[in-house]
Amino acid sequence: MGEPRKYLNDLTMALIRALGDTLRAVYLSGSVAVGAYREGSSDIDVLVAVEGAGRGQLERVIAESAHEALPCPATKLELVVYETAELAAPHVPPRWSLNFDTGESVRQVDWDPSTQPSHWFVLDLAFAHRHATPLWGNAAIGDPGREAVERASEEMLAWLETNEPEALPIARRRVEHWRATGTFIPKPGLPSP
């Protein structure tokens, strides 16, 4: 199938319907944004910038973009909604409004940033700052900074060691690549050891 373009167009339209005039931008990030999408193993990462979106509008985002309403062709959709000011100048830890994962066997809805490890969001924002591509609109994506990325990388490795040790070797290689080059590489783009 390659890059899931029709799904992304449909998702963007669903976000426009759900968020109305509070929507400022929709960005594609992760492996799809850098041409490393692999059918059957890649997620679809989307960042959404809003200005003043209320809880009801965010709940409509969930209803409109849930796998049951809009089947995700990837392993899952990882969608994070940020207010534009937070996206432009991210705090550490980042303050998002909605963190929503959905797929055939996945559904996770989070409203409170303190309930999730912040390292994921720091790393995602740093990657998006460099590689995200706009699907609709325009909003600045700020860089959390090298020190925050270094700290988040260490926290991620420690978290994986405890929770997902099978993912640790790839994560270590990605962190080593970032430390050596200052650039991010998606999991499917890793060179062979």
Q: How far is CA 103 from the centre of its chain?
A: 14
Instruction: Report how far residue 184's alpha carbon sits from residue 104's, in angstroms, rounded to the nearest whole number.
Output: 28
Instruction: Give a yes or no: residue 86 inside a domain.
Output: yes
Instruction: Report how far residue 58's alpha carbon sits from residue 67's, in angstroms, rounded to the nearest whole number.
Output: 16
Instruction: Give a yes or no: residue 185 inside a domain.
Output: no
Other beta carbons within 10 Å of 116: 15
- Residue 161, classed as helix, strand or coil, is helix
Instruction: Report how far residue 153's alpha carbon sits from residue 42's, in angstroms, rounded to the nearest whole number.
Output: 21
pLDDT for the residue 191: 46
* DSSP code string of 92-139: SS---SEEEEEETTEEEEE--GGGS-HHHHHHHHHHHHHH-EEEEE--
Instruction: Report how far residue 123's alpha carbon sits from residue 135's, in angstroms, rounded to the nearest whole number.
Output: 21
Structure tokens at 2: 């390659």
Residue 24 in this model has a pLDDT that exceeds 70: yes
Whether the pTM exceeds 0.85: the reply is yes
Report yes or no: 107 and 70 within 8 Å, Cβ to Cβ. no
Instruction: Give a yes or no: residue 32 inside a domain.
Output: yes
Residue 45 in this model has a pLDDT that exceeds 90: yes
pLDDT for the residue 3: 60
Reported confidence tier of residue 41, pLDDT bands at 50, 70, 90: low
Mean pLDDT of the chain: 91
Instruction: Give a yes or no: residue 58 inside a domain.
Output: yes
Mean pLDDT value across residues 96-123? 95
> Mind listing the pLDDT tens digit for each residue in 66-101?
999 999 999 899 999 999 999 999 999 999 999 999
Spatial neighbors of 129 by CB under 8 A, at least 6 apart, are 141, 142, 143, 144
Reported confidence tier of residue 188, pLDDT bands at 50, 70, 90: low
Reported confidence tier of residue 2, pLDDT bands at 50, 70, 90: very low
Going from the C-alpha of 28 to that of each of 4, 59, 80, 129, 190, the distances in angstroms are 11, 21, 11, 11, 20
Domain CATH code at residue 96: 3.30.300
Strands 106-110 and 77-83: unpaired
Q: What's the domain count of the chain?
A: 1
Instruction: Report how far residue 148's alpha carbon sits from residue 129's, in angstroms, rounded to the nearest whole number.
Output: 14
- Residue 110, classed as helix, strand or coil, is strand
Mean pLDDT value across residues 168-179? 91
Instruction: Give a yes or no: residue 59 inside a domain.
Output: yes
pLDDT for the residue 38: 76
Handedness of CA 156, 131, 185, 41 (dihedral sign): positive
Instruction: Give a yes or no: residue 193 inside a domain.
Output: no
Instruction: Give a yes or no: residue 60 inside a domain.
Output: yes
Region of poorest pLDDT, from 81-90, 171-180, 182-191: 182-191
Q: Cis before residue 93, ω within 30 degrees of 0?
A: yes
Instruction: Give a yes or no: residue 16 inside a domain.
Output: yes
For residue 56, give the amino acid letter: G
Residue 189 in this model has a pLDDT that exceeds 70: no
State the residue range of the domain holding 122.
5-142
